[in-house]
Structure 1
Amino acid sequence: MTENERIFWNRVLELAQSQLKQATFDFFVSDAKLIKVEQNQATILIDDMKKLFWEKNLQPVLLTAGFEVFNTELLITYVFEEDQAEKGDSSAPQSQKSPVLETLPSVHPDLNPKYSFDNFVIGDENRWAFTASTAVADLPGSAYNPLFIYGGPGLGKTHLLNAIGNAVLAENPQARIKYISAENFINEFVVHIRLQNMDELKQKFRSLDLLLIDDIQSLAKKSLAATQEEFFNTFNALHDNNKQIVLTSDRTPDDLNDLEQRLVTRFKWGLTVNITPPDFETRVAILNNKIQEYNYQFLPETIEYLAGQFDSNVRDLEGALKDISLVANFKNLDLITVEVAAEAIRARKQDSNPKMTIIPIEKIQKEVSKFYGVTVKEIQSTKRNQDIVLARQVAMYLARELTDNSLPKIGKEFGGRDHSTVLHAYNKIKNMLEQDDSLRIEMDTIKNKIK
């Protein structure tokens, strides 16, 4: 890269960052690269899905930087990662939003106002989905259309859907926005068919600026072919007019087996992002955020205890806080200790994953050490001999499986180790048990001795 090319590209990034929100810049601009500037033409490497965004929003930035450095208007060529070049037309007219006609049927957004980007707790497991959602809310219809978010229940997909809608509505109160579950879309379709009023349904959904569909897998499970046909036509109408579509699902588009292939293909046109269960640190952050809604004081060790008990989804954490609230109200408590929390969530834990709460960690350590021929002191030590490490990790796994103790408390009983060490040991043994029949037999033997 020549000196002038370097100055030009740094100026492009500087101007773009000053004009865009940080999340939008990170999402659309930060990974672009300047290939060369030659004969008044700049060649830029970008993701092919970002071309529309660059053409609509960064043309003035490129022109300004071009005049400042090269004293001329640069033509822009975009090269994609697939090594297919496509010329950007700097003279192409900007698409204009069609005015909303007064004859269109009214639409209620049905958004939950409590869900926003500000109160969404970000962790490594949802960071990409959060960044994509904020970028889409900033410039709906510009790129990544549709945005497809998938993951298990209770991980924040509905939160992000509503946050997108609320952000767009705050920026443009006149925007036609609809949040709806796929099941309710099916119900509306059936009602309009029965009333012989399909034109109203078509006008309502095909005139939207932003369509937010939750649990799209229900469309595959429960809908008739006619419903999928109507959704297909609605999708096409919105997409063709650069109107934003955001979908959530409990699985990837390719795993929507009962859905027409042409819909699956369209769901993959934009960006597909995954949300996985929150790690320990994220669960602690979620709990610290949620307890602001309650008039009780939670000790730090109580939060860590709860974070160690529920690791599958956010709903379990929210449910645990509601259980604690009931107990605290009944007993007129202001301070929530580990003991109070353990009492409150016992029934919930037994329903989801029964655990023995009366087994001391010392007994687990003793039985594991006897089985593997090591001492309890060695298990608690920092020795890294293979047999000691295995015994230590098995003991940590069983302490997590068979007791109510939090990860920090378990770590303390194993020589003052950090909770992340306990979690690593638990996950490692859990994965080994899925593949190692001998270890499963050993584990059953040890459990029988402990019980």
Structure 2
Amino acid sequence: MTENEQIFWNRILELAKSQLKQATYEFFVLDAKLIKIENQVAIIYLDRMKELFWEKNLKPVILTAGFEIFNAEISVEYIYDEQAAIQEEQPVSEQSRNYTAPATLAPIQSDLNPKYTFDNFIQGDENRWAVAASIAVANTPGTTYNPLFIWGGPGLGKTHLLNAIGNSVLQDKPNARIKYITAENFINEFVVHIRLDTMDELKEKFRNLDILLIDDIQSLAKKTLSGTQEEFFNTFNTLHNHNKQIVLTSDRTPDHLNDLEQRLVTRFKWGLTVNITPPDFETRVAILTNKIQEYNFIFPQDTIEYLAGQFDSNVRDLEGALKDISLVANFKQIDTITVDIAAEAIRARKQDSPNRITVIPIEEIQSQVGKFYGVTVKEIKATKRTQDIVLARQVAMFLAREMTDNSLPKIGKEFGGRDHSTVLHAYNKIKNMISQDDGLRIEIETIKNKIK
């Protein structure tokens, strides 16, 4: 595809995703593919059974994208034969599809961490789209989402997914040229090659890859060294033009990469941008259950749940807590990790952590939720069931379970003496709503940031 065709198709996907439920978008839209635009007609490869849905629901989206990108009315023609789709596309990128790296290329060191795989990545609601996109990229690199841009806070699994993509591809294609590197190290290599006057080596190394996995791309935006962003821009273009996969991670969205050249920001948005948020309580329990297999100790379920209630910001805190516990348990020569032992082991970590959550009173959660939704704490605790109060009450219960280690009966008592089953119902309801409503998810993250 040309650059404008790619932007046009990305806009269609963006509009469709904003208007459809996630499951509908996934089923009817994700497998479709823009082949080319010819004489103001978009040729789209599609499963035949999905044509009626596109005709009834997505024609306005195509029209909107057409006027936005081309300032013209773009009509659509569907083709259903995948082989025909490949043949249609071939003239557009014949050179790219037939591109092969020079036979004399030096071997590439992937720098992948073999312990990071899809099999040992714990999936939850907060990361399922990032996982799905990463698996899709690993299955068909260079064709599905290119680039794939994964963003989120530290310790949430971005590096794990980058490595999992590379390790998965190497399993099927051991000779694939794959490179994992942080943006900081890319900059350092650039500096070294500039100093040694060996830039051709750097270009050969990075521009002949099959997959480039760049971690913490925000570091590139911080650097003002002349030529660094220019070299990355040219590397990106070369790989993308030859249908080589690029995956980037960042602690923020492309639009918030300050000091990064706009042409790079634009290219980062050509493919798919997905977010990873902090794990919920159930996911933290699953992560701990998986991680404790690495230790020769017995962790009763109440200890696991206690630990899951202590740290809600990222996976690294959970892993660090297990290391602290291992140290204490080995010193005391004990086999079973009780809640008391766990509490003793992580005491220092909780005191040092800006994200510790055990000191948050439920009353503070109720107060902040009430302020956000314009209701009083008294109304949240009472039995009144107007829509705004019910939502605030359920959100407060959800956060009380997410952000404290209080039991369900204890939480229920703080909400006017309600039964623990009421708290569990509220928690599950809000959790399900978050998975389908990005607006509510953002509201809850905003409240959590006010509470912390």
TM-score by length of 1: 0.69
8 A Cα contact 2:311 2:355, kept in partner: no
Q: Structure 1 residue 358: deviation in Å? A: 10
2 CA distance for matches of 1:341 and 1:246? 38
Deviation at 1:303, TM superposition (A): 1.0
Percentage of pairs with the same residue: 60
Deviation string for 1:141-172 (max 9, x for gaps)?
01211000001111110010000000011110
Aligned equivalent of 2:420: 417
CA contact (8 A) 1:140 1:210 kept: yes
**Worse-superposed segment, 324-333 or 207-216:** 324-333
Inter-partner Cα distance in structure 2 for 1:49 and 1:305: 53
Counterpart amino acid of residue 27 in structure 2: S
The verdict on how the C-alpha distance between 1:230 and 1:27 changes in structure 2, with shifts beyond 3 A counting, is farther
AA at the equivalent of 1:351: D
Aligned residue number for residue 30 of structure 1? 27
Structure 2 match to 1:228: 229
CA contact (8 A) 1:28 1:50 kept: no
CA distance in 1, matches of 2:444, 2:27: 39
**Contact persistence 2:312–2:357 (CA under 8 A):** no
Seen in structure 2, the aligned counterparts of structure 1 residues 137 and 188 have a Cα distance that, compared at 3 Å, is same
Tell me which moved more, 92-101 or 139-148.
92-101
The 2-side partners of 1:433 and 1:357 are apart by: 14
SS at the partner of 2:329? helix
* Equivalent-residue separation in structure 2 for 1:396 and 1:179 (angstroms): 38
State the alpha-carbon separation in 1 of the partners of residues 99 and 402 from structure 2: 58
**1:80-111 C-alpha deviation (Å, 9 max, x unpaired):** 94243455665344764544434213210000
2:276 corresponds to 1:279: no
**Paired letter, 1:417:** H
The structure-2 alpha-carbon separation of the partners of 1:215 and 1:400, relative to structure 1 and needing over 3 Å to count, comes to closer
Contact 1:47–1:81 (CA under 8 A) maintained in structure 2: no
Deviation at 1:289, TM superposition (A): 1.0
1:176 and 1:210 in contact (8 A); partners too: yes
- Whole-angstrom distance in 2 between the partners of 1:351 and 1:335: 26
What is aligned with 1:312?
Answer: 313
Q: Which residue does the alignment assign to 1:330?
A: 331
Q: d(CA) in 2 for partners of 1:28 and 1:383?
A: 38
- Residue 47 of structure 1: CA displacement? 6.0
Classify 1:111/1:80 alpha carbon distance in 2 versus 1 (closer, same or farther; 3 Å): farther
Q: Alpha carbons of 1:422 and 1:148: their partners in 2 closer, same or farther (altered >3 Å)? A: closer
Rounded Cα–Cα distance in structure 2 between residues aligned with 1:341 and 1:172: 44
Q: 1:434 to 1:411 in 2, by over 3 A?
A: closer
Q: Alpha-carbon deviation of 1:237?
A: 0.5
Root-mean-square deviation (CA), in Å? 4.4
Which of residues 82, 92, 117 in structure 1 aligns to 2:62?
82
Instruction: Tell me the number of residue pairs that the alignment of Structure 1 and Structure 2 aligns.
Output: 365
Tell me the amino acid that sits aligned with residue 82 of structure 1. Answer: I
- Aligned-pair CA distance for 1:309: 1.1
Q: Secondary structure at the match of 2:309?
A: helix
- Relative distance call for 1:110 and 1:31 in structure 2 (3 A) is same
Partner of 2:295: 294
CA distance in 2, matches of 1:297, 1:311: 23
Q: CA deviation at 1:411?
A: 3.4
In structure 2, distance between residues paired with 1:209 and 1:27? 32
Aligned to 1:146: 147
Stretch deviating more after TM superposition (99-108 or 258-267): 99-108
Task: Output the TM-score relative to the length of structure 2.
Answer: 0.69
Larger-Rg structure: 1
> For 1:174-213, what per-residue CA distance to the aligned partner results, in whole angstroms no more than 9, with x for missing partners?
0000000000000000011111100000000000000000
Q: What SS is found at the alignment partner of 1:263?
A: helix
Aligned-residue offset at 1:126 = 0.6
Cα gap change, 1:411/1:46 in structure 2, threshold over 3 Å: closer, same or farther?
Answer: same
Q: Within 5 Å, which residues of 2 pair with 1:156-171? A: 156-171=157-172
Give the Cα–Cα distance (whole angstroms) in 2 for the partners of residues 160 and 50 of structure 1.
Answer: 31
Distance 1:306 1:412, change over 3 A: farther
Identify which range, 307-316 or 89-98, moves more after superposition: 89-98
Partner SS, residue 335 of structure 1: coil
Distance change (3 Å), C-alpha of 1:408 and 1:334: farther
1:170-189 equivalences in 2 (<5 Å): 170-189=171-190
Tell me the distance in 2 between the aligned counterparts of 1:356 and 1:276.
17
Q: Do 1:310 and 1:316's aligned partners in 2 also have CA atoms closer than 8 Å? A: yes
**Paired residue type of 1:245:** I
Match for residue 119 of structure 2? 118
Letter of the 2:28 partner, please give it: D
Cα distance in 1 between the residues matched to 2:359 and 2:314: 26
